[in-house]
Amino acid sequence: MRETDFAGTRIRQRRTTLGLKQSELARAVGISASYLNLIEHNRRRIGGKTLLQIAEALEVEASLLSEGAEASLLASLKEAVEEIPVGVTRSAATPELDRIEEFAGRFPGWAQLIISLQEQKGQLQRSVNAMTERLSNDPLLSDALHEVISTVTSIRSTASILVETKELEPEWLMRFHRNMNEDGERLAQGAEALVHYLEQGPNSNASMISTGDEVEAFLAENQYHFPELERQADRLVASDVSIEKLIAESDAIASEASVDLAHETLERYLQDARALPLDQVSELIATHGIHPEVIMRAFDVPMAQVLRRIANLPEEATGATGLYAMRTSGEMLPRKPLRGLTLPRSFSGCAYWPLNSTLTDPTRPVLTSMRQNDFRFVAMSAAEQDVSAGFSTSGACTAYMLIIPELNNPEGLALPVETDRCSVCGLTDCVAPH
């Protein structure tokens, strides 16, 4: 009998654990009690929508019902091992995945610990990425992170030994278990210390992780694309339940200010997705390359909206893209960095940046070719009006700058200006006013 054939037994166990009657569960998922009875006695195969509905009603992952706890544990462990980053150093780790079932079977508790630690490490890594820019200027924070990374290193190394060593002497086994336990504690303490530092550190007036950092981490963990919102846009559903759910489910969003900013960002995403449907825009890009004017004319929408939308399309459709936005006030909105390009948090240092040029003349989109050291890229910027100017009040707008590697530049897209005079581009002969 296969794992899935026992799904009914697991459903019954979970239902009784929760103290639910068969009739109550059946009603909750919209099936008859007699049908549920057949399912629970493994006399009806279950899958698809019904399984998902039952899993939701029983507050468990569907896989836990269909495959059982061991399979779920094994899958999570494999995922944890596969998530161990490679590429930082010169060769890839190759854990012996063929023995992973034996490990999970013999040491389910330790397997769970590795999964938990890997998840913790993932969360910490995201925090690390968000703070990288400030690290070099803050020795205290640098020390705290060094502690965490050292602990993670020890955990990784020890976990690999536990998984990969065929015959481990009892004294070594005990020692490494003890070390894992110690490192787990240290990691927890290190994480707490970091949180404490970030919330109440010596520069508490300027929290080390800003609202923008949190939202950037949230966008990054979703790869700047939200299929759920695409579906919602497609159905023209007015409710913003999806947005709230997406934000609530993210570990990256902690503060109320971040919730508001994330909400604002996703509302804008949804509007863009409705105005510029995924399939149609992707098709235009497939035909013409990244050519914002073509999209702008096809859908009769402002250029700034097109630039934003391109940055939120899946990478398969556009290749690598980056997006930077700045309000008239100088506030930067959450960024989408382009791999290989390091740009500052503020563009106030150089008048030649397209983002600044666009804010100077919001009616005129800018297209320019730029370079940072040897990395050549194309920047396109356009502004969107936020507040109309009155006779006695000033207006306000936000400038958006889409960046793509020059290799992705479509044929025929004119590059009128060769601008490489920027304070962050690394050139020594820059003549721009600073």
Task: Give the binding site for another protein (CB under 8 A).
Answer: 84-86, 88-94, 136, 145-146, 149-150, 152-158, 160-161, 164-165, 172, 175-176, 179, 182-183
Nearer CB in complex with another protein: 161/332: 161
Nearer CB in complex with another protein: 47/85: 85
Instruction: Render the burial of 211-246: b for 16+ CB within 10 Å, e for the rest.
Output: bbbbbbbbbbebebbbeebbebbeeeeeeeebbeeb
Q: Between the CA of residue 323 and those of 136, 229, 288, 338, what are the distances in Å?
A: 25, 19, 20, 8
Q: Provide the token pair at 81.
A: 């091992």
Nearer CB in complex with another protein: 15/121: 121
The neighbour count for residue 380, using CB atoms within 10 Å, is: 24
Q: How far is the CB of 76 from another protein (least distance, A)?
A: 19
Euclidean distance between CA atoms 353 and 424, whole angstroms: 10
Nearest to 159 by CA among 232, 107, 214, 203: 107
Nearer CB in complex with another protein: 151/250: 151
What is the distance, to the nearest Å, from the Cα of residue 60 to the centroid of all Cα atoms in its chain? 23
**Contact in structure between 406 and 369 (CB atoms under 8 Å):** yes
Q: How far is the CB of 88 from another protein (least distance, A)?
A: 5
Euclidean distance between CA atoms 403 and 400, whole angstroms: 10
Instruction: Render the burial of 115-127: b for 16+ CB within 10 Å, e for the rest.
Output: bebbebbeebebb
Nearer CB in complex with another protein: 148/326: 148
Q: How far is the CB of 158 from another protein (least distance, A)?
A: 5
Nearer CB in complex with another protein: 136/393: 136
Q: How far is the CB of 154 from another protein (least distance, A)?
A: 4
Euclidean distance between CA atoms 180 and 281, whole angstroms: 50
Nearer CB in complex with another protein: 93/389: 93
Q: How far is the CB of 340 from another protein (least distance, A)?
A: 12
Nearer CB in complex with another protein: 158/381: 158
Q: Between the CA of residue 169 and those of 162, 172, 173, 407, what are the distances in Å?
A: 11, 5, 6, 55
Q: How far is the CB of 84 from another protein (least distance, A)?
A: 7
DSSP string, 237-248: ----HHHHHHHH
Q: How far is the CB of 203 from another protein (least distance, A)?
A: 21
> In terms of DSSP H, where are the helices of 289-391?
292-299, 303-311, 315-318, 354-360
Q: What is the DSSP letter of 122?
A: H
Q: How far is the CB of 112 from another protein (least distance, A)?
A: 20
